[in-house]
Amino acid sequence: MNLVPLSCRLLACLLPALLSAAPVLAGGLAPGYRNLPFSAPEPGSYELPVLGTAADGVVLDSDGRPLRLHALYDGRIVLFGFIYSTCDDVNGCPLATVVFQKLRNALKSEPEPAGRLRLLTLSFDPEHDTPEAMRRYGEGFRDGGVDWHFLTTRSEAELQPILEAYGQSVQKEYDAAGRSTGKYSHLLRVFLIDGQKRIRNVYTVSVLHPDLVLADVKTLLQEVPVPVGGQAASPPLRAGDDKTGYASPAYETHALALDARRGRPADLFQRAQRPVLGLPKLPVPADDPLTPAKIALGRKLFYDRRLSLNQTFSCAMCHIPEQGFTSQEQATATGIEGRTVRRNAPTLYNVAYLTKLFHDGRESSLENQVWGPFLAANEMGNPSVGFVLDRIESLPDYRGLFEQAFGRGPGMETVGQALACYERVLVSGDSPFDRWRYGHESGALSEAARKGFELFTGKAGCAACHTVGDRYALFTDDALHNTGVGYRASMDKTPAARRVQLAPGVSFEVDAKTFAQVAEPVPGDLGRYEITQNPADRWKYRTPTLRNVALTAPYMHNGVFASLREVVEFYNRGGEPNENLDPLIRPLGLSAQEVDALVEFLSSLTGGDNQTLVSDAFAAPVGNGR
């Protein structure tokens, strides 16, 4: 039986007395025990620099379950500190625990910051601080409010890389006979980590104070990501002009300036060689192998606006990196000169695994697919293949690049291959779901998401089309199905009036006649039938992957649903009945709580390293026309 040392069992009981004694003992106590002699800075009146990326590592929670630090960060603001439970230096480990406790008490009346903050206490004495010991250590501090986890590791061998990554020096103390005293020499350090897993402050004994930490936490909560101190901030995974909450009169814009859209190039070739948790080996055609030169050239072409008819439009303007390589801001895409495209821009994440491309599955290879948007009059608008090739030949910054990548100049084949190589490496896995199912980290997925997965593969039957395997999950059968969405769009009568929102909280009903005078008629769309001319294929569309689905709203081939909840509720009703409705579509009989659980599960499918791809995209040249 592991007995928790007396010092950690009594710490929770002694805290009130210690705190009340702080004014008397102030001369010997760290500043964190007493009131600040000055006012804390106003949150948001200053900026916190980016000090680096917070490292990952395998830890054990107080129930002995393995999980990764990054799974605990999971978009929250985190205070992360190292301690050992038998520390008797009042200005050492107990100080960190006291400050965490005071901070949590201060937030009891502020649910918004409390709900977005997580406290992590990790022992650097795994031999004595077992999960059971850490559970007992934390018992006195679990009274609701801020989420607080008490962690340890399996061994010193698993702990050491974490200590090194965070620059936390720890030395065991030994007596004259060379026996361990059970004490450690260390410098107290507490790390403030933002929602993008970046270290934003490091507190030592002299500055670790709950008032200062609280001001920093609230500053991060108010922060709109912009370059700080000349360093590029990690890019947000959302629309540049996020309209969330626009229906409220209290809406405030937080649009991101284009000059803040900077990033850091990544080694995409090396990244593509590494296995990705939850995904199979990357398929690469024998006649278009990946090379660094081809990926770099394809990346340049992808973001080059000069390759459209009027030199204003690139592939990336429909497949926006920070918006899941699709567009969160439009139901259907918009091409050059504002020309309407009748379908939603599909995500390019994990497009390498697909054998059917476009919503109607009309292409089978990325190398050929790229020419569709180049030549579509309502997308990039080029009149011919030769027109595109002549444009590339005329641009001096492309000189020698095709020869370096392919041994020959630009052509229909080499342009397609280069772009395909870049799109092929946009691989996204290692989501919380993957870490739970394939990484066997029991704490990586919330209880609600686990319930959602049970429904996904059981009662709701989602996995019949969005497949999940024993070793990996693509979340698509790469087939085409009629769910009734296309049928409903084709058959619905024009409503007598439509509600149009003009400003936050300001909407008007516009009658159909007035609307028709200013709006373009919605084009017809019969889906796969347009390719095969087979009546049985009417309104069939390719099953999209659900990976990163929380990033890729709006949903369906025509962007008709704005939220995941709307999608789940549509399927719960049994889709839209029609003569070609897929037999897999049926009413599901899900309760409101089960719908919530499914949405929670779908939200757990966001890749763990998407920021790397987005930051790399931000660093790419856009090729503005002159």
Q: Which of 14-18, 69-73, 254-258 has the highest mean pLDDT?
A: 69-73
- pLDDT given at position 400: 96
Mean pLDDT, residues 65-72 taken together: 87
Share of the chain above pLDDT 90, in %: 56
4 pLDDT exceeds 70?
Answer: no
d(CA 571, CA 590): 10
Residue 395: count other Cβ atoms within 10 Å of its Cβ: 15
What mean pLDDT do residues 199-225 have?
87
Over residues 420-443, mean pLDDT:
94
Q: What are phi and psi of 181, to 5 degrees?
A: -85, -5
pLDDT one-digit tens code per residue, 473-484: 999 999 999 999
Q: Judge whether residue 99 has pLDDT over 70.
A: yes
Q: Are 404 and 29 in contact (CB under 8 A)?
A: no
Read off the pLDDT of each residue in 148-157 and give the average, rounded to a whole number.
92
Dist CA 397 CA 569 (whole Å): 50
Q: Whole-number mean pLDDT of the chain?
A: 87
- Using alpha carbons only, what angle is made at residue 572 by residues 569 and 576, rounded to the nearest 5 degrees? 90
Q: What are phi and psi of 602, to 5 degrees?
A: -60, -35
What is the tens place of the pLDDT at every residue in 444-472? 888 889 999 999 999 999 999 999 999 99
Number of Cβ within a 10 Å radius of residue 296: 20
- Pick from 50-54, 162-166, 210-214 the range whose average pLDDT is largest: 210-214
How does residue 235 score in pLDDT terms, banded at 50, 70 and 90? Answer: low
Please determine, for residue 490, whether its predicted confidence score (pLDDT) is greater than 80.
Answer: yes
Q: Between 583 and 340, where is the model more confident?
A: 583
Q: Is the pLDDT of residue 6 over 90?
A: no
Q: For residue 346, how many C-alpha atoms fall within 13 Å in the half-sphere facing its CB?
A: 23
Residue with the bigger pLDDT between 363 and 39: it is: 363
Residue 182 has pLDDT above 60, yes or no: yes
Of 63-77, 310-324, 417-431, 555-569, the poorest mean pLDDT is in 63-77
User: With a threshold of 0.85, does the pTM exceed it?
Assistant: no
Cα dihedral 138, 164, 192, 77, rounded to 10, equals -70
Among 414, 420, 405, 398, smallest CA distance to 621 is for 398
Map residue 192 onto helix, strand or coil.
strand
- Whether 587 has a pLDDT exceeding 80, the answer reads yes
Residue 343 has pLDDT above 60, yes or no: yes
